[in-house]
Structure 1
C-alpha cells in the first residue's frame, strides 16, 4: 500500500499566505500579553513561533486557533476575516490544531481512534445505534492513515498501551483524517525522547509537503532542522523573523532567546 496523505481540497485564498494577522493584540486586565503582531504564514511551509517563557507565543497560538479572542487586530485565513469565528467552525474551514498533551481515546484501539476522526466530517460521529458493519467502508482510509504514520503493527492495540511518541503519531493520523489545509502544533516535541523526536520530525516534514504547518516550539534544534520560517517573539512582540541562519545570527535574538535555550 502506498503511503501518502492526499492533498486536501478547499479554498486557496489570495496570494501565497494562508494565514495573516494584522495588529494582533491581547490584553489581560491591563497586561498586554501580545502587542501589534503582524504574522504572515506562507502556504505549504513549516513556520515556527518561538520565544522565551512569557514571550507571548502560546497566547498568539491560542488567538490563531480561536481559543482566545483578541482585544484588537484581525486574523485572516485564506483571505477571509475569521477573527470572530468560533473554534469549532475553523476545522470546517481547513484549520486544525493539536495540543501539547496527547489527546487520544486511550480505551479505543488505534483503528477505532482514526475511524472516529473519519466519522466527524461525515456527520456520523454519534451514530452509535447503527450496526458496526456500517463503519467498515471507513476502514480502508483509516488503514491508509495508520500506515502513513507508521502504526500498522499497532492497528488493533488500545491507544493507552502505546508509548508517548506513538500516541503523538496517532494524533497526527486522527488530525489528518479531518483533511486540514493547515495544521497548528503546540510543542509537538514536548516530552519526547530522541527516537520519537526523529519520528515526529519526519512526520511533520511529510505533512508539510502538501499542507501548511505552524508550530509553537521551544526546542531550537528542532526548529532549525524543520522550519522554513521562524518568528521570534519577546514580551509579546515580534523581535525577528527569517530562516534559521538569519535568526540565529541576530544579536537581539541571541541575547533574548538563544542563549537562554542552552543555559
Structure 2
C-alpha cells in the first residue's frame, strides 16, 4: 500500500441473504484529503461505512489502514488505530454540559472511563484540553450549557469535538449535515474544512453543495458498486452519474455549485 493512501479497500463485498449491498468496491482515500461517498438512496454508502468500522463483517474483500490489514479486527481495535466514526444521528449526552461531554470522550481516550469512584475534581485536569477542543469547533462560550439546550447544528459541532477528543487519524462522518437549516449547514461545512487541516476525512453526505465545496475526491456508489470517482467537477459531468441521480429524491447533483 502506498503511503499516499491512508485507507484502501480491495474488492470489498457484503451480501445479505443473496442481496449484494456492497459489490467489489475498491476505495482509496488519500492521506490529508476530504473524500466523500455519495449516491442515491440504497446505493450502499452506510453499509460501506459499517464495513470500514467493523460494525458488520464483509462477505469478502480486504480493508487496509496505514498499511495494516484490519479486515479481521474488532471495532475497538480499529478505533485504537485512529479510525473514529461520528454517527448520522447526533450522539451526545443531553443532560451533561457541553464541557462534560468532551471530557467523557477524553476519559475514553485515557482508558479510565469506568473510574466512577474517583472524585469529580480528579477530572479537572482534562478541562483545559476539553476547552481547547470546544474552541476549535466554535463552542467555547457554550462550555457550561447543557447539551440539550444547543441547536441541532451546534450539537453536531459538539459531536465533532468529542470525535476529535479521540485523536482520530481518519474521521468518518455519516451525514454530518442531515436535517439542518442553511445556517447550520454552512457552520458545519466550515467546521469540517477547518478540522480537516490535520487529518483525513471520509464522509457520507447527501448535500451536494457541501460536497462540491469541500471534497477533494468523490466516489459515487450505485447499487453497491462504484459508478464513478474523481473531483466534483469531473464526476458531476459524468453522464452515468447524472442519470443515476435524475428522478430520485437526491437529484441535487447537477448545478449544485
Q: What is the TM-score normalised by the length of structure 1?
A: 0.93
Gaps of 5+ in 2: 253-257
Find the counterpart in structure 2 of residue 189 from structure 1: 177
Q: Deviations over 1:229-252 (max 9, x none)?
A: 000011111000000010000001
TM-aligned CA deviation for residue 222 of structure 1: 1.2
Deviations along 1:169-200, one digit per CA (max 9) or x if unpaired, are 00011110010000001000101111111111
Classify 1:258/1:219 alpha carbon distance in 2 versus 1 (closer, same or farther; 3 Å).
farther
Question: 2:102 aligns to what?
Answer: 114
Q: What is residue 7 of structure 1 aligned with on the other side?
A: none
Of 168, 171, 188, the residue aligned with 1:180 is: 168
DSSP-derived class of the 1:27 partner: strand
Please give the residue correspondences for 1:24-35 in structure 2 after superposition, counting only pairs within 5 Å. 24-35=12-23
Unaligned runs of 5+ in 1: 1-12
- Give the whole-Å Cα distance in 1 for the aligned partners of 2:99 and 2:32: 28
The structural deviation recorded for 1:259 is 5.8
SS at match of 1:208: helix
Distance across 2 between alignment mates of 1:95 and 1:14: 18
1:135-154 paired onto structure 2 within 5 Å: 135-154=123-142
- Work out whether 1:167 is the aligned partner of 2:191: no
Shift of 1:262: 3.5
CA deviation map 1:135-180 (0-9, x unaligned)? 1111110110111111122111110111111110000111100100
Q: Does 1:131 align with 2:119?
A: yes
CA distance in 1, matches of 2:37, 2:235: 12
Tell me which residue corresponds to 1:215. 203
Alignment size in residue pairs: 251
Counterpart of 2:232 in structure 1 is 244
Residue in 2 that maps onto 1:38: 26
User: Equivalent residue of 1:230, what SS?
Assistant: strand
Name the CA shift for 1:259/1:253 in 2 (closer, same or farther; >3 Å): farther
Deviation of the 1:226 alpha carbon: 1.1
Instruction: Output aligned runs, 1:219-234, within 5 Å.
Output: 219-234=207-222
Inter-CA distance 259–244: structure 2 relative to 1 (3 Å threshold): farther
C-alpha displacement at 1:129, in angstroms? 1.1
TM-score, length basis structure 2: 0.95
Match of 2:40 among 39, 52, 59: 52
Which residue, 40, 56, 69 being the options, matches 1:68? 56
Give distance in 2, aligned partners of 1:217 and 1:161: 26
